Amino acid sequence: MSQKVLLSSREIHIILHRLACQLIENHLDFKNTVLIGIQPRGKYLADRLARLLRDEYGVRDIQLGYLDITFYRDDFRRGEKPLEANKTQIDFLVENSKVVFIDDVLYTGRSIRAALTAIQSFGRPAEIELLTLIDRRFSRHLPIQPDYRGRQVDAINREKVKVMWEENEGEDVIYLVDN
């Protein structure tokens, strides 16, 4: 197994600030916007962006939720490993609001497809956008593309993108791992 650094802590820092600014550009005061982290890994990115928007850019009243897509996945009973659910926490209705899905890596697009179905249980959003830190090019199974992307990478199927966060692993760093 070999791994190389895709993004360093410094690069991640700059990208997060850029993504935050792009969000502000489109959503201004976030009055009618909700941020939804896709469980399990999108939660950390969503938390980080929400904190950045609040602390560094003075955006108040950010609505942040976490959406678990386990029960909406299309590979139930099809994989080797049983699916494990995570907590969904959306304490508001998304009816008529602008939803931004936040996930760390966009790969086949199937998780986002599931999220698009799942979010409808909380109302009919006015629109849905997708923000992703790493966009794996040429690997989509579905016609799904991000509206905000941190970095686009070319990776072959056996390679894996590993995103590590300071709050869990002690350091912000993204690796490309070859199994």
Partner 1 sequence: MSELSVNHLLGIKYIKEADIQLIFETADHFKEVINRPIKKVPSLRDITIANLFFENSTRTRLSFELAEKRLSADVINFSAAQSSVKKGETLIDTVNNILSMKVDMVVMRHPNPGAGVFLSQNIQASIVNAGDGAHEHPTQALLDSYSIRERLGDVAGKNVVIVGDILHSRVALSNIFALKLQGANVKVCGPLTLIPKYIGTLGIEVEPDLRKALQWCDVANMLRVQNERMDISYFPSTREYTQQFGVDRALLDSLDKEIVIMHPGPINRGVEITSDVADSKQAIILNQVENGVAIRMAVIYLLASKIKN
Tell me whether residue 57 or residue 76 sits nearer to partner 1 (CB atom): 76
Tell me whether residue 82 or residue 170 sits nearer to partner 1 (CB atom): 82
Which listed range, 2-10, 41-49, 53-61, 112-120, lies at the site for partner 1 (CB under 8 A)? Answer: 112-120
Site for partner 1 contains 120 (CB under 8 A): yes
Written as one letter, the residue type at 171 is E
Site for partner 1 contains 108 (CB under 8 A): no
CA distance 63 to 140: 29
How are the residues of the chain apportioned to helix, strand and coil, as percentages rounded to the nearest 5?
A: 30, 30, 40
* Sign of the torsion formed by the C-alpha atoms of 131, 133, 137 and 141: negative
- Backbone region of residue 61 per phi and psi (left: phi > 0; alpha: psi in -120 to 50; beta: other values): left
Site for partner 1 contains 88 (CB under 8 A): yes
Residues 49-78 that bind partner 1 (CB under 8 A): 68, 70-73, 76-78
Tell me whether residue 57 or residue 92 sits nearer to partner 1 (CB atom): 92
Strand, helix or coil at 3? strand
Site for partner 1 contains 18 (CB under 8 A): no
Strand, helix or coil at 2? strand
Site for partner 1 contains 85 (CB under 8 A): yes
Angle at alpha carbon of residue 171, lines to 107 and 60, rounded to 5°: 80
Tell me whether residue 66 or residue 165 sits nearer to partner 1 (CB atom): 66
Q: Report the interface residues with partner 1, using CB under 8 A.
A: 68, 70-73, 76-78, 81-88, 93, 117-118, 120-123
